[in-house]
């Protein structure tokens, strides 16, 4: 570098005008085109609204927030409820003090809570499963068929059976045979207050699910898996028409087991008494009792008799019974009561075997 350059040239370099050249855009590292000017955004930028969290709603709840029904809301209620029901709703609203509602208002904290505030008045297609049977499918007067009704069904089947009938005709009749009297939709596709399943029968995320036949369960090792075809089991299969795999898949349990003493002409004979129940978890339930000198024989006989005595139990929503049932057996007064969804964590053994609930 030369230091002999005049000082004038050095100072002139600061005042020299910059030449205006063409602007060359730099290359971007993504395929989007380069924008040289501010443009209007594609989506408007909304400001944050005055929204509150669930905790803030609970903390700031006041009696003024609970307002009475307006005329428009009453007109909408008249379309859904009868005048007697509407009068009961208004009486209930008038009996509740808004101050108590504000003080006792709280958001659910249990594991089944909702993460959003909803009054369940509308079905949100994004979060709610809205495919369910209509209310018109319900038939509250439906009853189980009697033996005479089943005899008429069998007689009609044999009367209309073609000459070249095959096993497929019998299977089709057995699968379509109804067990109740009333609306057909009430038995095949009843309305339920429970949330329907995510998938229809046979659907899944990756592949079709295995179809489950009615009144049949997968085989398990709980009862009779390793036993051979004994004479008692052979008579059971012949009298009921069940298969060995179906009998093995039934859930059985011995409820009562104690010794009894019978007075005979040879003296007192001690025997074992057992009372057992059997069910398939899909509506069939039976009770059987037996006595034998050996406890193992008494248990086996009571279970076989329970299987032979299995009858279809009408279930509400596939989990409980219709209404309350009272009965008396000897000195024992028994009362079975229906319960809403989620009631208790443990059901009676009778309901477990009948509805496959825990």
- What is the percent of the chain where pLDDT is above 70? 69
> Long-range contact list for 114-117, CB < 8 A, 24+ apart?
117/54, 117/57
Q: Does domain 231-355 have CATH number 3.30.160.20?
A: yes
CA distance 272 to 270: 7
Tens of pLDDT, residues 226-247 = 457 888 899 999 888 888 889 9
User: SS3 of 312, please?
Assistant: strand
Residue 274 CB burial class (10 angstroms; 0-12, 13-18, ≥19): buried
Alpha helices in 16-165 (DSSP H): 54-59, 71-80, 83-95, 98-104, 147-160
CA distance 310 to 215: 11
Tens of pLDDT, residues 68-99 = 889 999 999 999 889 999 999 999 988 988 88
The DSSP bridge partners found for residue 260 are 271
Residue 217: what pLDDT? 44
Residue 290: what pLDDT? 94
Residue 337: what pLDDT? 85
Residue ranges of E strands in 282-324: 284-292, 311-312
Q: Are 300 and 236 in contact (CB under 8 A)?
A: no
Residue 196: what pLDDT? 64
On the question of pLDDT at 127 being above 70, the answer is no
**How much of the chain is in helix, strand and coil states, percent to nearest 5?**
35, 15, 50
The most distant pair of C-alpha atoms in the chain lies apart, rounded to whole Å, by 147
Indicate the Cα dihedral angle 172, 176, 177, 182, nearest 10°.
Answer: -160
CA 112 to chain centre: 14
Tens of pLDDT, residues 253-286 = 999 999 999 888 888 989 999 999 999 888 889 9
- What angle (nearest 5°) sits at the alpha carbon of residue 273, between those of residues 260 and 240? 150
CA distance 346 to 343: 9
pTM for this predicted structure? 0.38
DSSP state of 64: G
User: SS3 of 280, please?
Assistant: coil
CA distance 259 to 269: 10
CA distance 315 to 317: 6
CA distance 66 to 212: 49
User: SS3 of 299, please?
Assistant: helix
Q: Nearest to residue 55, comparing CAs of 101, 8, 106?
A: 106
Q: What is the mean pLDDT of the segment spanning 160-169?
A: 84
Which residue has better confidence, 227 or 328?
A: 328
Q: Where are the domains of the chain?
A: 54-104, 142-211, 231-355
Residues 6+ apart with CB under 8 A from 179: 144, 145, 187, 312
Residue 277: what pLDDT? 93
Residue 9: what pLDDT? 52
CA distance 229 to 159: 36
CA 76 to chain centre: 31
Q: Are 171 and 105 in contact (CB under 8 A)?
A: no
């Amino acid at each position: 570098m030369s230091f002999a350059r005049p000082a004038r040239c050095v100072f002139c370099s600061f005042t020299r005008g910059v030449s205006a050249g063409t602007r060359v855009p730099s290359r971007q590292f993504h395929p989007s085109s380069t924008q040289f000017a501010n443009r209007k955004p594609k989506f408007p930028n909304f400001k944050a609204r005055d929204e509150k969290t669930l905790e803030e709603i609970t903390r700031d709840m006041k009696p003024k927030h609970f307002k009475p029904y307006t005329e428009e809301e009453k007109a909408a209620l008249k379309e859904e409820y009868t005048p007697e029901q509407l009068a009961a709703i208004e009486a209930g609203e008038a009996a509740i003090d808004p101050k108590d509602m504000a003080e006792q208002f709280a958001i659910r904290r249990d594991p089944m809570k909702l993460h959003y505030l909803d009054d369940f008045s509308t079905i949100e297609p994004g979060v709610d499963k809205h495919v369910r049977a209509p209310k018109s499918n319900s038939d509250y007067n439906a009853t189980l068929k009697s033996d005479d009704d089943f005899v008429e069904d069998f007689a009609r089947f044999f009367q209309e059976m073609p000459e070249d009938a095959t096993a497929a005709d019998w299977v089709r009749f057995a699968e379509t045979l109804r067990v109740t009297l009333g609306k057909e939709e009430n038995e095949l596709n009843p309305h339920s207050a429970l949330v329907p399943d995510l998938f229809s029968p046979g659907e899944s995320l990756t592949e079709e699910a295995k179809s489950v036949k009615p009144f049949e369960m997968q085989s398990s090792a709980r009862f009779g898996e390793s036993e051979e075809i004994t004479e008692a089991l052979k008579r059971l299969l012949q009298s009921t028409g069940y298969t060995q795999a179906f009998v093995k898949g039934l859930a059985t349990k011995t409820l009562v087991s104690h010794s009894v003493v019978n007075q005979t002409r040879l003296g007192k004979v001690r025997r074992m008494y057992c009372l057992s129940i059997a069910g398939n978890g899909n509506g069939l339930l039976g009770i059987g009792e037996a006595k034998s000198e050996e406890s193992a024989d008494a248990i086996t006989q009571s279970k076989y008799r329970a299987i032979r005595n299995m009858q279809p139990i009408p279930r509400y929503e596939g989990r409980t019974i219709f209404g309350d049932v009272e009965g008396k057996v000897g000195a024992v007064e028994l009362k079975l009561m229906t319960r809403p969804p989620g009631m208790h964590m443990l059901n009676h053994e009778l309901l477990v075997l009948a509805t496959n609930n825990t």
